Amino acid sequence: MLKIEDYRQIVEDQLQMMGGMKRPEGLYDPVRYILSLGGKRLRPVLCLASASLFGDYTSALMPALGIEVFHNFTLLHDDIMDQSDVRRNHATVHKKWDNNTAILSGDVMLIKAYELISKSPVGVLPQVLEVFNKTAIEVCEGQQFDMEFEKSTDVTEAGYLDMIRLKTAVLIGGSMKIGGILGGGSLRDCGLLYKFGQDIGMAFQLQDDWLDVFGNQETFGKKIGSDILNNKKTFLLISALNRLEKELKKELLDWMQRKEYDADEKISAVTRLFNEAGVSEIVIQKRDDYFARSLENFEKINGDREIKQEIENFAHKLMARSR
């Protein structure tokens, strides 16, 4: 039986083989660059493992790579929209090259993703495309909500949770459902895989929000406090605004409205206000609720018991991560 690390190595090897894209270098060098920055390869790994629950993973290999290329395409464009300078401890594509290069290289990655997805077996290709198309649209919807939230003063906790469901969680759920379809899983089991993956995705993003404030920069892979500096409407910020007493809420809003400030001072002050509101514990509880629900659904899935245990162990490691 293959382990999660085996699937990850398979994905890495295949992505390196994709490096044969050559000319024009100005188009393909950024693609090779972002794919070489590593990452957890969470989505393709879970796609392959989901296929293995019910059969041979090999039919899922090309689509899994397509999902990873699509995910990195979204990161490349998101970094432009968020004006992010660092991704996985390296310069983002638009900083290393420029915005136009990043946009066009991202465009070709989206096309490449569809090319890889289309290599699904003919018999299930319509089902796979239906899931992938719906998921890809929802990811774009989530990004639009995210951008709109940056200009809004009345984002609710429920609204934020729906945004991260679209922007992050549905792609993990979709990856697992596609893997289940390609492995020959039943309609019921593939549906449960989607629910499991989506709830893991919710817990994963809430953990990411928490790490951005309370994590360790050396292991997190990007600057701690970047969400604070960018006034990102995370679950922490929304919860703090809802729970702080009048004067403390006013102080938090003042920091959000300042145009000039010392970055370290702002991060320190806002973190203190988050602690006053007790949002660390609130986010951790919400994360744990999603994780518990994901395991309840996963327990109902049929399939190879050893693979199930491997996926469940992997999920537990994700929740214990520091980056």
Say what the pLDDT of residue 219 is.
56
Residue 198, both tokens: 């989506």
Residue 19 — pLDDT band, cuts 50, 70, 90?
low
Residue 11, both tokens: 């994905």
Residue 315 — pLDDT band, cuts 50, 70, 90?
very high
- How far apart are alpha carbons 20 and 36 in whole angstroms? 13
Contact 189, 301 (CB under 8 A): yes
Contact 107, 79 (CB under 8 A): no
Say what the pLDDT of residue 313 is.
96
Say what the pLDDT of residue 83 is.
84
Say what the pLDDT of residue 86 is.
82
Residue 36, both tokens: 């070489």
Q: Which residues, in sequence order, are CB contacts of 26 under 8 Å at separation 6+?
A: 97, 101
Q: Within 10 A of 122 (CB to CB), how many other CB atoms are there?
A: 7
Residue 22 — pLDDT band, cuts 50, 70, 90?
confident
User: What are the tens digits of pLDDT across the range 145-186?
Assistant: 999 998 887 899 999 999 999 999 999 999 999 999 999 999
- How far apart are alpha carbons 291 and 196 in whole angstroms? 9
Residue 123 pLDDT more than 90?
yes
Residue 241 pLDDT more than 80?
yes
- How far apart are alpha carbons 15 and 35 in whole angstroms? 7
Domain count, the chain: 1
- How far apart are alpha carbons 197 and 203 in whole angstroms? 10
- How far apart are alpha carbons 148 and 322 in whole angstroms? 29
Please, what is the end-to-end C-alpha distance for the chain in angstroms? 27
- How far apart are alpha carbons 238 and 256 in whole angstroms? 12
Helix (H, G, I), strand (E, B), or coil: what is residue 39?
A: coil
Residue 221 pLDDT more than 80?
no
DSSP 135-154: HHHHHHHHHHHHHHHTT-S-
**218-245 mean pLDDT:** 85
Which range in 89-93, 101-105, 220-224 is most confidently predicted, on average pLDDT?
A: 101-105
Domain interval for residue 8: 4-319
- How far apart are alpha carbons 62 and 239 in whole angstroms? 41
Helix (H, G, I), strand (E, B), or coil: what is residue 91?
A: strand
Q: Name the average pLDDT for the chain.
A: 94
What are the DSSP E strand ranges found in the chain?
86-87, 90-91
DSSP 96-137: HS-HHHHHHHHHHHHHHHHHHHTTS-TTTHHHHHHHHHHHHH
User: What are the tens digits of pLDDT across the range 35-77?
Assistant: 999 888 999 999 999 999 999 999 999 999 999 999 999 999 9
Residue 90, φ and ψ in degrees, nearest 5: -130, 160
Q: Lowest-pLDDT range, 88-97, 131-140, 172-181?
A: 88-97
Contact 61, 48 (CB under 8 A): yes
Say what the pLDDT of residue 69 is.
98
Say what the pLDDT of residue 151 is.
85
Residue 218 — pLDDT band, cuts 50, 70, 90?
low
Q: What is the CATH number of the domain that holds 16?
A: 1.10.600.10
